[in-house]
Structures are given as C-alpha cells and as structure tokens.
C-alpha cells in the first residue's frame, strides 16, 4: 500500500473515529458506565462548532462509504481459469497453462534472457506480461513487435475463438540494479 492510500485512509478513519466519539459521548446515558464523559455542550467553543462538524463529517464519510461500496461491487475479480462457452460445451483453461504456453513461445526468441510470464484473467480478457532482460541485437523493436503479434495469434489459435475474447500482451525489460564493487574497502 503506497503512502497516498495510507494517508487517505488515515484521514478517513480519523474522521469516522471523531464522529463516533461524539456520538458515543452524547448517547452515554443508554449504558450504565462506572465513569461519566463530559458532554460536548459543556464547552463554549466546541458547542458552536461541533454540530457543523458532525453534520458535514457524516455527509463526507457517508459519500465515501457509498463510493467504496459501489467500487467493491463493480471491481472485477481476478480468476485462475478462463471459461469459454461454445455450442459443443465449455472449455476451461487454467492461468498456469497459458503462462507456460506463452513462456515456451518466448523461450524460442534469442533476444530475451531469463524470460518469465505473468497472466491476469478477467471475465473475457487475458493480459499477458512478459518479463526478461533484452539483449542488444539488431532490429530489436521490430522483433519485439513480431513477438507480441506471434503471442497474440498463437493464443487466439489455441483458444479457437476471437469474437468475444480480448488479449493484451506487454513486453517489459528488467535490468539488474546490483552494483559490483571489486575494489577492496580496506587496503
């Protein structure tokens, strides 16, 4: 979770906490507690500000919770297998099988060292990401485009359908960031 999300969620949780705290203070008479909390109306500055804060804080947090609820309902779930329906029956292909199929195609190429493949499957969409260290050879961009086109056509040919399925292939280059220092630190 990155810092922006942590900051946003922290502010939201503090807002909801303060709202719940004031609701708890005002409704403490419902429960018999061994201690008593001071009402917010006993403070002169808080008495005039807190009703506005509670109202607008409740409006903002309610809107954010409704947006979060809609996002949870509409967020597409990742699947581990692709299910294709046809007239003759259904075809179920696991994510790992697609990864290995694409990896075998990529291993045939000489301009990629240590290739690895990740596949994300949504309802009718396959996203293939190919990772590897690109070698410095002639016509590398053209060969990369050919590889992406080959993977797309091979996947469509494997699945046997092109009408209701979309594929996306991305080729990522990774470089090792380790610095080798061959000098001795102590002489």
Residue 92 pairs in a beta bridge with 83
- In the predicted model, what is the mean pLDDT of residues 69-83? 78
Q: Spell out the domains of the chain, with CATH numbers in brackets.
A: 3-74 (no CATH), 81-173 (3.30.70.1350)
Q: Rounded to two decimals, what is the model's pTM?
A: 0.54
pLDDT single digits (tens) 141-181: 788 788 888 888 888 888 776 566 677 777 776 554 455 55
* Helices vs. strands in the chain: H and E counts, helices first: 4, 5
Q: Could you tell me the pLDDT band of residue 187, with boundaries at 50, 70 and 90?
A: low
| 110-135: average pLDDT | 81
Averaged over 6-23, what is the pLDDT?
A: 84
Beta bridge partners of 126: 121, 167
The enclosing H or E element of 38 equals none
- Mean per-residue pLDDT of the chain: 78
């Amino acid at each position: 979770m990155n810092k922006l999300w942590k900051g946003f969620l922290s502010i939201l949780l503090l807002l909801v906490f303060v709202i719940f705290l004031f609701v708890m203070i005002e409704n403490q008479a419902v429960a018999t507690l061994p201690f008593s909390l001071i009402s917010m109306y006993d403070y002169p500055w808080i008495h005039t500000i807190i009703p506005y804060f509670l109202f607008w804080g409740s409006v903002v947090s309610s809107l954010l919770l409704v947006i979060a609820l809609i996002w949870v309902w509409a967020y597409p779930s990742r699947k581990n297998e692709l299910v294709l329906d046809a007239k003759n029956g259904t075809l179920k292909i696991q994510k790992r099988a697609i990864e290995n199929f694409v990896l075998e195609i990529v291993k045939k190429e000489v301009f990629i060292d240590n290739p690895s493949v990740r596949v994300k499957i949504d309802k009718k969409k396959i996203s293939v990401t190919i990772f590897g260290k690109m070698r410095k050879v002639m016509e590398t961009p053209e060969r990369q485009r050919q590889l992406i086109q080959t993977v797309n056509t091979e996947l469509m040919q494997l699945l046997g359908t092109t009408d209701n399925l979309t594929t996306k292939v991305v080729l990522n280059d990774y470089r090792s960031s380790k610095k080798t220092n061959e000098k001795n630190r102590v002489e």
